[in-house]
Amino acid sequence: MNKNNIAIIGAGSWGTALALLLARKGLAVTLWAHRPEHVDQIRSCRENRLYLPGFSLPETITLTADIDEAVLGTSTIVMVVPSHVFRSVFVRMKGSISQDQVIVSATKGIENDTLMTMTQVMSDEFVSDRYAVLSGPSFAKEVAAEKPTAVTVAAKDIRIAESVQEVFFTERFRVYTSTDVIGVELGGPLKNIVAIASGICDGLGYGTNTRAALITRGLAEITRLAVTMGASPLTLSGLAGLGDLVLTCTGDLSRNRSVGLKLGQGMTIEAIQDEMQMVAEGVKTTRSAWFLAQKMGVEMPILEQVYQVLYAGKSCKAATRDLLVRGGRNEIG
């Protein structure tokens, strides 16, 4: 098994950006896409025109729609498929993986039916002590354009985290390590919900005061749930928590903020999803996170209102009003 052979499972914008990052390091990368016609398109012009146009992919990136071919003989497998198909894709490939391979989740989501994180989904299907999660403030387009970026990789075994750190670390892509897997893994999907709320407020014409309040109180909610599930609060003040939250709530490249913006401007969620080419994970995560918060007994008022807008037909103005008129609280505690 060659330690320089990496499989990227998922040829969306993020998977393609990570493949490009690793190929520029001189690593041999296999990029898997589930549709053969998508593979043919990328291979023919060496560009993912559907999800990451404008970036030429070097010949050291091999394209395939055969998932067994993608993972066999690789040292590291990076899962970058949407959370709602994560389990089914992993099941397809698990017959070709081994205990020697490190498997990294770069997907930010919570499975709807089981309320599991992605590493929990993998552990449910294949017992291994070599799972890791990569997360942090990182738009695919900026990583592909080699804009300086910093992320966190977490694994229960710090040696596994350090091995993934070595794979991804470059002069423009700084990787920190952690052993707080649940904290790093929850920060990513939960911040997407707050980003939808931030977009809603922008769409309604509210100001930067509102956005700052949402980011701050959103972080409080995320931290409450994550700590209840065993995370360190310090993790949520780091790159995988606060860093990713700020980026997604303020950045113009944020798909989740874009969904909220259009909701605030009066579009329905059905119309928004019909016109979107890429997945906004926060829409599905809102549902799973709502059930998870109920299960854990954690109060999350921003999540509650986003859930009501997306799944109960509540108006954006009514949702923001109900957030503002809640009874007074002590900020800390």
Render pLDDT for 214-223 as a digit per residue (tens, 0 to 9): 999 999 999 9
What pLDDT is attached to residue 333? Answer: 62
- Identify whether residues 47 and 172 lie together within a single domain: yes
- Identify whether residues 18 and 75 lie together within a single domain: yes
Q: What is the pLDDT of residues 261-301, one digit of tens each?
A: 999 999 999 999 888 877 778 999 999 999 999 999 999 99
What pLDDT is attached to residue 332? Answer: 82
Per the structure, the count of domains in the chain is: 2
Q: What is the pLDDT of residues 85-94, one digit of tens each?
A: 999 999 999 9
The CATH code of the domain that includes 155 is 3.40.50.720
- Identify whether residues 165 and 195 lie together within a single domain: no
Confidence label for 2 from pLDDT (cuts 50, 70 and 90): low
Q: Which of 126, 149, 179 is the last residue of a domain?
A: 179
* Region 224-235 average pLDDT: 98
What pLDDT is attached to residue 238? Answer: 98
- Identify whether residues 122 and 171 lie together within a single domain: yes
- Identify whether residues 154 and 199 lie together within a single domain: no
Q: Which of 156, 179, 202 is the last residue of a domain?
A: 179
135 within some domain:
yes
Q: Which of 142, 161, 179 is the last residue of a domain?
A: 179
Question: Are 188 and 153 a contacting pair, CB within 8 Å?
Answer: no
- Identify whether residues 129 and 263 lie together within a single domain: no
What pLDDT is attached to residue 274? Answer: 87
- Identify whether residues 249 and 165 lie together within a single domain: no
* Region 225-237 average pLDDT: 98
Q: What is the pLDDT of residues 189-198, one digit of tens each?
A: 999 999 999 9
pLDDT above 70 as % of the chain:
98
- Identify whether residues 160 and 240 lie together within a single domain: no
- Identify whether residues 209 and 228 lie together within a single domain: yes
- Identify whether residues 217 and 79 lie together within a single domain: no
- Identify whether residues 64 and 160 lie together within a single domain: yes
- Identify whether residues 167 and 222 lie together within a single domain: no
Catalytic (active-site) positions: 191
Domain that holds residue 68: 2-179
